[in-house]
């Protein structure tokens, strides 16, 4: 995968945060991070319709750029929206998971972290409330590899269900990540 396509993949995944289920998006990010583009693409295409993850025309064009077949018929069935709804509220939350805080504070610098933040995500709809860690990384850091490494450590070492969002310092934030970061506390 070339650099431009990989950047589009990172963008698509960030845009779909909070709209696709957390497990599905995790699978897509990890598959792309480890070079399993076919599995990532299949998971993406097979999830957008059943999860009612509406996409804007700009997002549809962006997704077409990362697909092996830009004219894949599955994409035509995805709900079109004019504006992306914010389906979660973010706040500082209650009692933090101190083990997760410590683990991520130790691991994040190994993945290019410049700062680590934690916010509590409450859904407007059906998904459960959860902690979201926003990791700001240095420019040039591979966001998908950082995501994969940090989320894997949380899962394997602590069996913690908390979410990780990786954003590059200096880049404009998308609405989901901006809302999480605005409500977060720095660790």
The mean of the pLDDT values for the chain is 93
3-state secondary structure labels for all residues of 67-83 = CCCCCCHHHHCCCECCC
Residue 62 included in any domain: yes
- Among 30, 54, 76, residue at a domain's last position: 76
pLDDT band at 1 (very low <50, low <70, confident <90, very high): confident
Pairing of strands 163-168, 88-91: unpaired
Structure tokens at 9: 């993949």
Q: What is the pLDDT of residue 29?
A: 95
Summarize pLDDT for 111-124 with one digit per residue, the tens.
999 999 999 999 87
Range of the structural domain that residue 131 is part of: 88-186
User: Does 132 reside within a domain?
Assistant: yes
C-alpha separations of 2 from 8, 26, 72, 81, 171 in Å: 10, 22, 20, 29, 20
Query: What is the per-residue pLDDT for 142?
Result: 95
Residues 44 and 95 in one domain: no
Q: Does 12 share its domain with 97? A: no
For 7-27, how does the pLDDT look when each residue is reduced to its tens digit (9 = 90+)? 999 999 999 999 999 999 999
Please report how the helices 3-16 and 175-183 are oriented relative to each other, as an axis angle in degrees rounded to 10: 60
Q: Which residue has the higher pLDDT, 85 or 26?
A: 26
Same domain, 123 and 33: no
pLDDT of residue 3: 87
Please tell me whether residues 93 and 63 are part of one structural domain. Answer: no
Among the three residues 21, 48, 76, which one is the final residue of a domain in this structure?
76
CATH number of the domain bearing residue 137: 3.30.460.10
Domain count, the chain: 2
111 and 21 within one domain: no
**Cα separation, 176 vs 158, whole angstroms:** 25
Within 10 Å of residue 129's Cβ, how many Cβ atoms? 13
Asked if the structure places residue 47 within a domain, the reply is yes
Name the nearest CA neighbour of 90 among 180, 185, 15, 186: 180
Q: Could you tell me if 62 and 42 lie in one domain? A: yes
How far apart are alpha carbons 169 and 182 in whole angstroms? Answer: 14
Higher pLDDT, 173 or 86: 173
Question: Are 99 and 39 members of one domain?
Answer: no
37 and 126 belong to one structural domain? no
pLDDT exceeds cutoff 90 at 136? yes
Do 18 and 94 fall into the same domain?
Answer: no
């Amino acid at each position: 995968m070339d650099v431009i396509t990989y950047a589009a993949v990172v963008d698509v995944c960030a845009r779909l945060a909070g709209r696709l289920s957390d497990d599905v998006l995790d699978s897509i990010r990890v598959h792309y991070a480890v070079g399993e583009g076919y599995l990532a693409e299949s998971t993406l295409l097979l999830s957008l319709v059943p999860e009612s993850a509406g996409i804007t025309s700009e997002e549809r064009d962006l997704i077409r750029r990362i697909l092996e077949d830009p004219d894949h018929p599955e994409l035509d069935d995805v709900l079109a929206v004019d504006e992306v709804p914010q389906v979660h509220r973010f706040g500082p939350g209650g009692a933090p998971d101190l083990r997760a805080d410590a683990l991520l504070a130790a691991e994040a610098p190994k993945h290019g972290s410049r700062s680590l933040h934690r916010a509590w995500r409450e859904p407007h709809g059906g998904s459960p409330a959860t902690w979201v860690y926003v990791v700001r990384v240095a420019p040039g850091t591979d966001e998908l590899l950082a995501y994969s490494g940090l989320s894997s450590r949380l899962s394997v070492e602590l069996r913690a269900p908390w979410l990780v969002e990786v954003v590059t310092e200096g880049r404009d934030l998308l609405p989901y990540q901006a809302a999480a970061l605005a409500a977060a506390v720095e660790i």
